[in-house]
Amino acid sequence: MFKTFIAGILLGVAGAAAALYYFPAVNQSREQSLIVVHPNRGNTESFHVNIPMDRVMTGAPSQKEPLPVGLEWPVDPLFADTRAELFKVRNGKDTVVGVASRIAANNESSGDIVEWVLHLPARGSAYVRMQAEPLEDGYRTGTLATGTREFAPLVGRVTEHWVADTSGAEDAPAGRIELTTSFVAREVEEE
């Protein structure tokens, strides 16, 4: 019986080690990437933010109705020109796939700034610098400055565009911010 007990201990150690080795401790939920290949125009992937339901935070000075309720934005002059926002990000199927921050600022020393960080937990993060002034058609363009994991070896462009809702549905969002990415591998871009 003692030998059986010892065998049980060894089996327990081996079983625990095998379980930790073969079963992932973290398994992020994934959505299928919805990448569209355009003729002679590379490929794009679209994300969007439904406003106001996907807005997590709007940080700006002197807000009458801060979001979320209870937010106390610092009154330091350092942040007087800064607007920081947090959103949930959706893919083309209107499914939440990540979170994003958008910071816009304007001051004499640094000029106008609009930047995004898209954080898609299963894929990585993308840091995007946008042009401060939108184009005449309402699109604001930018470039992928750097990224992590899936986005690390990529370069490319991103456009931001506000699309107002015209459906008139009672529960429809006021509109949405559309982000369209067009990324290629760095090696391809250099060729």
Contact with another protein (CB under 8 A) among 38, 39, 40, 72: 72
| Cα 91 to Cα 104: distance, rounded to the nearest angstrom | 23
Residue 174 binds to another protein (criterion: CB under 8 A): no
Residues in 73-92 that interact with another protein by CB under 8 A: 73-74, 76, 78-79, 81-82, 84, 86, 88
Q: Which long-range contacts (CB under 8 A, 24 or more apart) does 144-147 make?
A: 144/181, 144/183
Contact 116, 101 (CB under 8 A): yes
Strand-pairing partners, residue 116, are: 102, 128
CB of 34 to another protein, least distance (A): 14
113-129: b or e for each residue (b if 16 or more CB lie within 10 Å)?
ebbbbbbbeebbbbbbe
Q: What are phi and psi of 70, to 5 degrees?
A: 105, -10
Residue 69 binds to another protein (criterion: CB under 8 A): yes
Contact with another protein (CB under 8 A) among 56, 135, 172, 185: 56
Residue 186 binds to another protein (criterion: CB under 8 A): no
Dihedral over Cα of 105, 163, 98, 69: its sign: positive
Residue 163 binds to another protein (criterion: CB under 8 A): no
Contact with another protein (CB under 8 A) among 51, 122, 132, 184: 122
Residue 145 binds to another protein (criterion: CB under 8 A): yes
Write the CA distances from 23 to 10, 16, 76, integer angstroms: 20, 10, 48
Residue 119 binds to another protein (criterion: CB under 8 A): yes
CB of 168 to another protein, least distance (A): 25
Count of residues that interact with another protein, criterion CB under 8 A: 73
40/110 with CB nearer another protein: 110
